[in-house]
Structure 1
């Protein structure tokens, strides 16, 4: 069985697992090194932890650019492969490489224009927090070319079902980062102790290592996708990538703006509350690794089989995706409910952080569970090439429904209401996701039958 056909031939329950497990392991390693960053930085000081927590919205800008490009590339390449259009695969890949360089330049411009004024505002006059955050994010943004390379070439491996090779690239990036973190943060083996700047250098070095390995593996081991770099790209291939990618980038951009908004509200309570939210974001990334990994695997499966007109396989993919998501997140929810204090102690939590953080972890873990439904919906919409619906759903979950509740919590001076707001917003967005699915069923999937009712 050749690698190009496994998306359309392997039984769906096994294909989802085969595609997802390497991605899940990769995301686990990736998020563990992000978690390790925070754990090490927390031992520098709580101000340092708060600084990199405030940097998270700016990091989301980088993620928005890279993820939007990657998702658009993934969907278009997989569909072209399903339609047996090899030349379209080649031209789409060339366009994505050029676009990755453009995304890097945007990161540099944003860094030079925004970072210092952003921290002067968000740090509330605390010079230590501003210094720690600024030194961290400037390095991450100015040297983000490794990350952009990795986004593109990792997705090419995913598109052909070579998830184990993707595991190698992301694993390499993670291992390099974890090794360098303590050395550069605390100054071991004769290196200068650089604090948050050391954490940033470790991160970008790991990303570059993973990106370079991704280029090598695609050239040597991924013959289904011809790598051809040229500046003479065609407009329609850029448009096709952006058609799916822009909504994804906007979704991430919304998260960035909301991160700034949430940090501003939480800072009214204390800088400790901001640090706790930073911890919660990392916990969420870790908790949803299973679903996010499956999400990344679903997009090429759905796109390939939709392009190949294998309707039954698309239905089955959607059904098993929801089943697997509920099973995974139930296990995660139970774990988080029982060990919130141990999670916080990983970050050298003070008594005040424990007091505020334990109820926050327990409440937000419910939000992690509920939001997994929205994540699967997003993969379904993107797999069909309709990124707009994913954007609409994220806007509903994270803006329209969430902001009023957060404002109520801030007005009442009750931080518990703020934590519950995330749960309520995620739950209320599910009917909207179902409605969007029914719309895409009528306009795109017809005459496909809907498996969603069985899945839920």
Structure 2
């Protein structure tokens, strides 16, 4: 991290000239505000520090956080399997419902990151404080809705998915416990969004490392009992999750409070402010729905694969887990891109926005050269780590050799959509998600697999085609937007350098 003396920016401005005017919420000029407390160097860096340095500083801890988030889920799966096969199946069956909770939390957190980052970049710290406090109010309201709707829908949904008897009881024991504490993960997500907007990726990383270690202890203790606690079975896995989330709120909340955004929020800022809430929902709802399209996309491809064989479904499930692990180092690039873009967008530094996207894509290309090579040449060996079924290994290995040429498309897609979210353009991510996950796959899978007679290969090449087409559209649209904004910035520079020439 650069020293404090290295970067002392004039907030919201370029060297020697004012920023493009920030119009506050919904395009309305913000009212005059009292002098702001200077930001810390860590917060200021996002609009002044060298972009490659920033991306490395933000992306590495964010990627580590996602790694430990994955490990956290592995711990739950491991201990549920030790309880019983039914408990393990219940955990899997509960995932679609739990995914809705994650999508809501992650989506609204993304919206708050974009809004707070833009406000800080424009030197509107009071606006940023209002967004932060209203974001926490939003997480509470969303939690109430999710909890209520979940309790009403979860039993019919599990029955629809085929659960009954003891299987249904175990599913309900886990999911209803999670729903009772829905406000905990949603609040944790929101606090992290506030920190991400200021370039702090380390706090949430530390929380997830600690939560994973804690989960290793709490899962077996709560499931099987001991030291005065009764055995809770699968409910113990849910309770362990909520305890870890509660601890995370204390730790992450203290760090968010220390930034000054929350404790500078007067009492009035904690009352509903409808224009701000509207902006949060405008940013958060598309991001949440975009995540939900992923679940629908998984259902669609699974349905097509099930027409071929159970082994095809199993092979795809294992192969996608391998892809997720290979892509893990690039996940931090998405978070870093959005945080840097948001602040530089607010500061009117759109040249830096464009450079951020290009640099992130460059880093992603380097990582994916090695990742794709690993997937292509090690496909069968990687499959063998998860299954010993020869047919599943052969099917999944063949898919991975095709997928090796798709991995960079995911980087292109996710980095560019993250940049657009940082620019407060969240709708694109939803529309491209609907295209990639829901609209295009059924048509392309049917055409390639059945009309052209490619069989199972038609599904694999369909994934290739839909992903690359979405990536190309994302690159084109994001470049168009960033080039337009950078041109505005250049025009303003020209006016300020030579007002007389501009007037002519």
After TM superposition, the score normalised by the length of structure 1 is: 0.85
Are 2:119 and 1:80 aligned?
yes
Q: How does 1:227-242 map to 2 (within 5 A)?
A: 228=265, 231-242=270-281
Deviation of 1:335 after TM superposition, in Å, equals 2.8
> Equivalents in 2 of 1:413, 1:101: separation in Å?
49
Q: Are the equivalent residues in 1 in contact too, given 2:351–2:486 (CA < 8 A)?
A: no
Q: Which residue of 2 aligns with 1:297?
A: 336
The structure 1 residue matched to 2:439, chosen from 379, 382, 400, is 400
Q: Are the equivalent residues in 1 in contact too, given 2:353–2:482 (CA < 8 A)?
A: no
> Equivalents in 2 of 1:141, 1:416: separation in Å?
40
Q: How does 1:1-400 map to 2 (within 5 A)?
A: 1=4, 2-42=41-81, 48-123=87-162, 130=168, 133-184=171-222, 196-219=234-257, 221-223=258-260, 226=263, 228=265, 231-266=270-305, 279-280=318-319, 282-340=321-379, 354=393, 357-364=396-403, 366-400=405-439
Task: Kindly name which structure, 1 or 2, has the bigger radius of gyration based on alpha carbons.
Answer: 2
Deviation of 1:214 after TM superposition, in Å, equals 0.9
Deviation of 1:311 after TM superposition, in Å, equals 2.7
Q: Are the equivalent residues in 2 in contact too, given 1:58–1:256 (CA < 8 A)?
A: no
**C-alpha spacing 1:31/1:383, structure 2 compared with 1 (3 Å):** same
Deviation of 1:11 after TM superposition, in Å, equals 0.5
Q: Are the equivalent residues in 2 in contact too, given 1:53–1:277 (CA < 8 A)?
A: no
**C-alpha spacing 1:350/1:157, structure 2 compared with 1 (3 Å):** same
Deviations 1:81-111 (A, max 9, x none): 1111111011111110110011211221232
**C-alpha spacing 1:137/1:443, structure 2 compared with 1 (3 Å):** farther
Deviations 1:360-393 (A, max 9, x none): 5555555444222110111111111100112222
> Equivalents in 1 of 2:357, 2:194: separation in Å?
22
SS of the residue corresponding to residue 42 of structure 2 reads coil
Deviation of 1:57 after TM superposition, in Å, equals 2.4
Deviation of 1:264 after TM superposition, in Å, equals 4.7
**C-alpha spacing 1:383/1:367, structure 2 compared with 1 (3 Å):** same
> Equivalents in 2 of 1:127, 1:262: separation in Å?
29
Deviations 1:49-85 (A, max 9, x none): 5543343322221122111211111011111111111
Deviation of 1:426 after TM superposition, in Å, equals 0.3
Deviation of 1:277 after TM superposition, in Å, equals 5.2
SS of the residue corresponding to residue 5 of structure 1 reads helix
**C-alpha spacing 1:418/1:201, structure 2 compared with 1 (3 Å):** farther
Structure 1 stretch displaced more, 330-339 or 145-154:
330-339
Q: Which residue of 2 aligns with 1:452?
A: none
Are 2:485 and 1:429 aligned?
no
Q: Are the equivalent residues in 2 in contact too, given 1:50–1:274 (CA < 8 A)?
A: no
Q: Which residue of 2 aligns with 1:454?
A: none
Number of corresponding residues: 447
Q: Are the equivalent residues in 1 in contact too, given 2:197–2:342 (CA < 8 A)?
A: no
Deviation of 1:429 after TM superposition, in Å, equals 1.6
> Equivalents in 1 of 2:324, 2:228: separation in Å?
34
Bigger fraction of residues in helix: 1
**C-alpha spacing 1:388/1:290, structure 2 compared with 1 (3 Å):** same
> Equivalents in 1 of 2:392, 2:344: separation in Å?
49
Deviation of 1:223 after TM superposition, in Å, equals 2.8
Structure 1 stretch displaced more, 392-401 or 91-100:
392-401
Structure 1 stretch displaced more, 145-154 or 54-63:
54-63
After TM superposition, the score normalised by the length of structure 2 is: 0.78
Deviations 1:321-380 (A, max 9, x none): 111112222322333345556655665766675565544555555544422211011111
Q: Are the equivalent residues in 2 in contact too, given 1:42–1:348 (CA < 8 A)?
A: no
Unaligned runs of 5+ in 1: 450-456
> Equivalents in 2 of 1:431, 1:304: separation in Å?
26
> Equivalents in 1 of 2:410, 2:431: separation in Å?
15
Unaligned runs of 5+ in 2: 5-40, 491-504
Deviations 1:285-333 (A, max 9, x none): 4333222211111112111112112233222111101111122223223
SS of the residue corresponding to residue 466 of structure 2 reads helix
SS of the residue corresponding to residue 43 of structure 2 reads coil
SS of the residue corresponding to residue 424 of structure 2 reads coil
Structure 1 stretch displaced more, 362-371 or 150-159:
362-371
SS of the residue corresponding to residue 446 of structure 1 reads helix
**C-alpha spacing 1:349/1:369, structure 2 compared with 1 (3 Å):** farther
Structure 1 stretch displaced more, 70-79 or 289-298:
289-298
Q: Are the equivalent residues in 2 in contact too, given 1:39–1:346 (CA < 8 A)?
A: no
